[in-house]
Structure 1
Amino acid sequence: MRGKTAEDLRLLELLDPVAEAAGYEIVRLRLMGGEHVRRLQIMAERAVDGDMNVEDCARLSRAISEVLDAADPIAGEYTLEVSSPGVDRPLTRLKDFETFEGYEARVELDRLAEGRKRFKGLLAGIDGDQVAIDLEGEEETALIPFAWISDAKLVLTDELLKRGAEIRAARVQSDQPTSE
């Protein structure tokens, strides 16, 4: 899910080590557009705390640009865009479903399960390689194989916005000089 196409996956193989060496994790990579105008969109976060600010985006963009310029893996011109996954972020790795346990998500499968492909509910963590989700109107927690998930995203809720505000406030607080 971090990459959709074979080209995306090749780019991830090239760029994952670059991001990791710089202290980041690539959450999602998409090479979009036609033959002439393309955009390489990379959503990333700091490995230590999951945060990603403007300085982090610039730092990772410079590191990735160096490797892309040297390896030249993309034919033609393209624009590189490095960003934070945002508050209502995509869930692309198994660990994301554990990290955001208790928050509402939309999940889309690559096949039918119980007659449907789309599900919405509260994330209930993981169980091995399965995602646990408390679906609306269901008594029992559903287990969905991670391999079946084609797309997943957090739903923008008051609780999620509050979490984002708390993280930003903590970042601002830690950036403040201490008076001693």
Structure 2
Amino acid sequence: MANEQVLIADALKSLGYLLVDIEREGRGLLRVTIENIDFERPIDITDCEKVSRHLNYSLPVDNVNYERLEVSSPGLDRPVKTVADHIRFAGLEANVKLRVAHAGRKNYVGVLQGLISGDADSIDAKLGLLLKNADGSEAMFEFTLAEVDKTRLVPVVDFKGRKS
């Protein structure tokens, strides 16, 4: 999968997109999640169509096996996959699910704090999640990417100004 990830990431970069995630599902589904290189413009259906057309031609040439291809935007509950993502989304609320329970639990919800210690390129880089306790106090939870099963942003929907 690492090789296909590099192939897909390179193909996307040539089109002006970044790879957010790759998932393999049942019955040969290959799901590719993309975002724009500049992060400013959200992904729309024309972006997905453009990438889908390109990958439908390039992946068979590169011997990447799949039966169905799905290209999509990261969505409101965007996955946070890398140290760079944790730094970029610092200050936003996220759900962090650990591979192995820590202090008796695997799921944490808090505000991402980005890189706490170490080098951003290191596998041992410590990331932070600011947790709010039941009594209103705050606690810092530190973790590495190796400890994480998945992290997703908590969706924020703002309907202010909307007329009913």
What is the TM-score of this pair, normalised by structure 2? 0.80
Local SS of the residue matching 2:25: strand
The residue aligned with 2:56 is 65
In the TM superposition, 1:13-24 aligns within 5 A as 13-24=6-17
Give 5+ residue unaligned stretches, structure 1. Answer: 1-6, 166-180
What is the RMSD of the two structures over their aligned residues, measured on CA atoms? Answer: 2.1
Number of residue-to-residue matches in the alignment: 149
The ranges of structure 1 where at least 4 consecutive aligned residues each deviate by more than 4 angstroms after the TM superposition are: none
Q: Which has the higher helix share?
A: 1
Q: Tell me, yes or no, if the aligned pair for 2:89 and 2:112 is still in contact at 8 Å.
A: yes
Q: Once the 2 structures are TM-superposed, how far is the Cα of residue 18 of structure 1 from its aligned partner?
A: 0.7
Task: After superposition, give the CA deviation of every residue in 1:40-80 in whole Å (9 maximum; x if it has no partner).
Answer: 10111011125311121112112222211212321xx6111
- Give me the whole-angstrom Cα distance separating, in 2, the residues matched to 1:90 and 1:108: 11
Alignment of 1:152 with 2:160, yes or no, is: no
Task: After superposition, give the CA deviation of every residue in 1:109-133 in whole Å (9 maximum; x if it has no partner).
Answer: 1223223222111112222422211
The residue aligned with 1:28 is 21
The residue aligned with 1:109 is 98
In the TM superposition, 1:47-58 aligns within 5 A as 47-49=37-39, 51-58=42-49
Task: After superposition, give the CA deviation of every residue in 1:69-109 in whole Å (9 maximum; x if it has no partner).
Answer: 212321xx611110000011111122222222222111111
The residue aligned with 2:121 is none
- Give me the whole-angstrom Cα distance separating, in 2, the residues matched to 1:78 and 1:10: 18
Alignment of 1:94 with 2:69, yes or no, is: no
Equivalent residue letter for 2:14: A
Residue of 4, 21, 31 corresponding to 1:41: 31
Q: Tell me, yes or no, if the aligned pair for 1:16 and 1:25 is still in contact at 8 Å.
A: yes
Give 5+ residue unaligned stretches, structure 2. Answer: 119-124
Equivalent residue letter for 1:49: F
- Give me the whole-angstrom Cα distance separating, in 1, the residues matched to 2:63 and 2:85: 31
Q: Tell me, yes or no, if the aligned pair for 2:132 and 2:139 is still in contact at 8 Å.
A: no
Equivalent residue letter for 1:68: L
Identity among equivalent pairs (%)? 28
- Give me the whole-angstrom Cα distance separating, in 1, the residues matched to 2:38 and 2:49: 18
